[in-house]
Amino acid sequence: MKHFFKALTVALVSLLLMFVVMSDAMAQQTLASVKKTRGLNDEDVLAAAKTFMPRGGRDEYFAFVGSGNSGTMIVYGLPSMRIYKYVGVFSPEPWQGYGFDDESTLVIKKGSLDNTLLKYGDIRFPALSETDGKYDGKYLFYSDGANSRIALLGLDDFETKQVLMHPLFINAYPGVAVSQNNEFVFQSSEYPTPWDHREADVATEYETKFKSGITAWKFEDTDDAAGTGHHVGRMIKEESFTIELPPFTLGYFDAGRLAGHGLLVGLASYQNQHFVYVYDYLKVQTLKKQSVNEFEVIPFTDARQAGVFALIPIEQSAMSVKVDPTSKYFITASNTAYVFDFEKVKAALDQQAFSGDVLGVPKLITTDLLYGQVELGNKVVDLAFDFRENMVYSSVYNDKKLVRWNYETLALDETFDLSFKPGHLMTPQGNSVEPHSNYLTVVDKEGLYDNMLNTGPTRPSYNHLIDISSDKMRDIYTMTIPQANMYGSVSVLRTTIKPIIRYPLGTNTRTGEISRFKTVAGQEKIEREGNRVHIFGTLIRSHITPEIVEVEEGDIVTFHLTNLERAEDETHGFTVSTYGVHGSFEPGKTASLTFTADRSGVFPYYCTEFCSALHLEMEGILLVRPKGYVASGEDIGEIELTQEQLAEYKKNYEDKIVVINETQDVINSVVTYLKENDYQKYPYVEALVVDALDQLELAKTSKANYERYAAEGKWKDAFLWAEQYWQYQVKTADVGLRAKKLLSEQISM
């Protein structure tokens, strides 16, 4: 019996277990059926769970990539791989009015030849700004390969702040590097040309007149005058300089940090000879500069004399050279990877341990500088570091594989076979002194729609997310990147970037200064001088002021508009029908739109960005009168309403007041909760409350207006202002409820 009971116990336990299994199976049933329906295996489900972003979740990293031929910057998130933004850099971008409003057009024009608006750019490898070799999340830099321009983007508002055209190069390598405290942003030429638009004969004057060069753009960081902490650093052309070089084709380059600070390493080739170059950009600054086309140049003869630039021959062409996070080594690879000892290279350059030259540039002795070599496979494209000590990832193009190997022991660690030929690599924080792990992205440039739709003769770029959190690599997501030829990305921890949500009222966002065209509510006006018309207007839910503008055919018209909103994501847009202008007005921004009113007629203008339920009310009209026009009728006045219409507006008004009172009850209950729970102790909650109160402050005028119009029996105006007041209330209530939710979460923690 004892056995029996024991057995019974076991049986009961087993029954219990069966129940557990069954209930588990039932819970899993839907997942199982989805797996079956969609053809997913366990690995797929795991991959899906690793990239899916739940409600309230946040991507761990911001990533930035150049779009190639679109001339725009792309912002995406890791690990969701969702694209958040395209930002105009080297080409006009209509959505945010870049190259459509006067202020941003000026940014592009300053970076173009002869005051033209250069509309095409080719950008590939960005660099993030650094403090002590760590990403500081403040700025992003880009080089335009097609037109030899360089650009600066602010990461607190994700806008392009500066574009400069190179005064000497015709064509640039489409990548940049920064020194460890952003002292310099480096840019090099790609294909050699005579400088400064001088001409030359390819056959007879190639060696004498064609040149290459590397430019150190001086960068100065600063915050805005308003003291908001908004970063307005700029590259200073007058303090920048270029080293003149013989006609090498220059490629990818990287800057040493820490002990390697002061040296730039890059790829160079001449005919069928391939090199890594090393460039001592600190030492070169002691040399005398000459001015060429108003730009400081170190003549090659002087640079050669000083031994600041030298070549390390390598056997085959390479596509990447990267300095490791400790700057102990730098690595380049074609089929073989070469690990160079940074100390030895510095010493050899200092000692001028040269052996021969190419086009007058001294050669260092490769074998003396090499720490070691590793065979990786057929055609390595790129290298990337993560936080694993001395580990580097390599993409091997023709072998369709990734190889992780140890550059200290020179041993292969892990090989991962891919379904595609891998291109450029990226690890989060990978080009800084503190690379992270977990994720590796790999560009797939020949994606023959493995799991993608066929979109005709030309396809997007693809970017694969590789999970490198464990020893075994896994390809967990294929991202499509539209309107882009994707090359390199950079990625930084989400929390390093501190995006602002509004500007000080009246900000010219391209300069960071308060615009002289700033207009506040009640001070809207139209100024004329001859055929020049300036409209100083405002945008706020749900009015464009002024609502009617009258000009004469041939007038040059500028709308200077200020968005008066303080609420989060409360952007207004503005366009005038058929005149091709467009502005995006984020809260606090002032921008100007200029055009010649060369066609008479009536042209509606309107808010182009959905801003509230009354968005469609945000419209007005531009009357362009034929030259010499005399109005046949009265002055522009109000259209009289019928009694029936008036009664309808009165009813609408009264209905709205009921809703307003209900909404106020919600606001009151939220306010009570917030006060009772000391919301001031929680900074982010407090910020939300300030935002909410801001809304109510703005609402005061609307309330005064609707009460006044109601008293006067002007029911249409009373209704419209009541509607406007309610819009503010709703925004207040929304923000308040978010604050309440956040506060309750904070309290329960």
Chain positions 519 to 548 lying near a second copy, rule: CB under 8 A, are: 548
- Which of 555, 716, 732, 743 lies at the binding interface for a second copy (CB under 8 A)? 716
Of the candidates 55, 288, 472, 516, which one interacts with a second copy according to CB under 8 A? Answer: 55
Which residue's CB is nearer to a second copy, number 117 or number 259? 117
The stretch near a second copy (CB under 8 A) out of 257-265, 368-376, 616-624, 694-702 is 616-624
Nearer to a second copy, 133 or 587 (CB): 587
**Interface positions, 309-368, toward a second copy (CB under 8 A):** none
**Burial level of 320, CB count in 10 A (0-12/13-18/19+)?**
buried
Q: Is 577 in the site for a second copy (CB under 8 A)?
A: yes
Q: Does 91 bind a second copy (CB under 8 A)?
A: yes
SS3 600: coil
Of residues 408, 411, 384, the one with CA closest to residue 473: 384
DSSP code per residue over 308-330: -EEEEEESS--S-EEE-TTSSEE
Task: Please report how close the Cβ of residue 84 comes to a second copy at its closest, in angstroms.
Answer: 5
Q: How many residues bind a second copy (CB under 8 A)?
A: 183
Beta strands 83-88 and 72-78 are antiparallel
Q: Are strands 380-385 and 354-358 parallel, antiparallel or unpaired?
A: unpaired
Q: Is the Cβ–Cβ distance between 526 and 537 less than 8 Å?
A: no
Pick out residues in 717-736 that bind a second copy (CB under 8 A): 730
Q: Which is nearer to a second copy, 184 or 721 (CB)?
A: 721
Q: Which of 66, 92, 428, 512 binds a second copy (CB under 8 A)?
A: 92
How far is it, in rounded angstroms, from Cα 285 to Cα 259?
19
- Do residues 595 and 526 lie in contact, with contact meaning Cβ atoms separated by under 8 Å? no
CB of 100 to a second copy, least distance (A): 6
By CB under 8 A, residue 159 contacts a second copy: yes
Binding mask 408-447 toward a second copy (x if CB under 8 A, else -) reads -----------x---x---------------------xxx
483 binds a second copy (CB under 8 A): yes
| Under rule CB under 8 A, residue 236 binds a second copy | no
Position among 619, 654, 686, 717 found at the interface with a second copy (CB under 8 A):
619
Residues 585-604 that bind a second copy (CB under 8 A): 586-589, 599-604
3 state DSSP class of 189? strand
Q: Segment contacting a second copy (CB under 8 A): 119-127, 339-347, 408-416, 510-518?
A: 119-127
User: Whole-number minimum distance, CB 417 to a second copy, in Å?
Assistant: 13
454 binds a second copy (CB under 8 A): yes
Span 487-526, contacts to a second copy by CB under 8 A: 494, 499-503
643 contributes a contact to a second copy by CB under 8 A: no
Q: What is the dihedral of CA 547, 550, 556, 562, to 10 degrees?
A: -20
- Taking the C-alpha atoms of 227, 233, 238 and 240 in order, what is their torsion angle to the nearest 10 degrees? 150
**Between vectors from CA 23 to CA 20 and to CA 28, what angle results, nearest 5°?**
120
Q: What x/- string results for residues 262 through 281 when contact with a second copy is judged by CB under 8 A?
A: ---------xxx--------
Main-chain dihedrals φ then ψ at residue 394, nearest 5 degrees: -125, 140
Q: Does residue number 74 form part of the binding site for a second copy (CB under 8 A)?
A: yes
Q: Which of 286, 367, 411, 457 binds a second copy (CB under 8 A)?
A: 457
Structure tokens that stand for 644 in this block: 């029936």
236 versus 636: smaller Cβ distance to a second copy: 636
Does the protein bind a second copy through residue 711 (CB under 8 A)? no
Only one of the segments 87-95, 305-313, 676-684, 696-704 lies at the binding site for a second copy (rule: CB under 8 A); that segment is: 87-95
Which long-range contacts does 192-201 make (Cβ < 8 Å, 24+ apart)?
A: 192/246, 192/247, 192/248, 192/249, 193/169, 195/168, 195/169, 195/170, 195/292, 195/293, 196/167, 196/168, 196/292, 196/293, 197/170
- Of 207 and 712, the one with the shorter C-beta distance to a second copy is 207
Nearest to 549 by CA among 605, 479, 609, 614: 605
Q: How far apart are CA 232 and CA 492, in angstroms?
A: 20
Directed axis angle between helix 715-748 and helix 683-711, to 10°? 160
Distances (CA, A) of 425 to 145, 367, 385, 393, 580: 20, 28, 9, 8, 40
Tokens of 34: 């989805």
User: Do β-strands 556-563 and 532-540 pair in parallel, antiparallel, or remain unpaired?
Assistant: parallel
- Interacting residue with a second copy among 221, 609, 654, 686 (CB under 8 A): 609
CB of 217 to a second copy, least distance (A): 19
Q: Are 679 and 689 a contacting pair, CB within 8 Å?
A: yes
- Does residue 26 bind a second copy (CB under 8 A)? no
Least distance in angstroms from the C-beta of 134 to a second copy: 20
Quick one: which of 109, 181, 183, 200 contacts a second copy (CB under 8 A)? 200
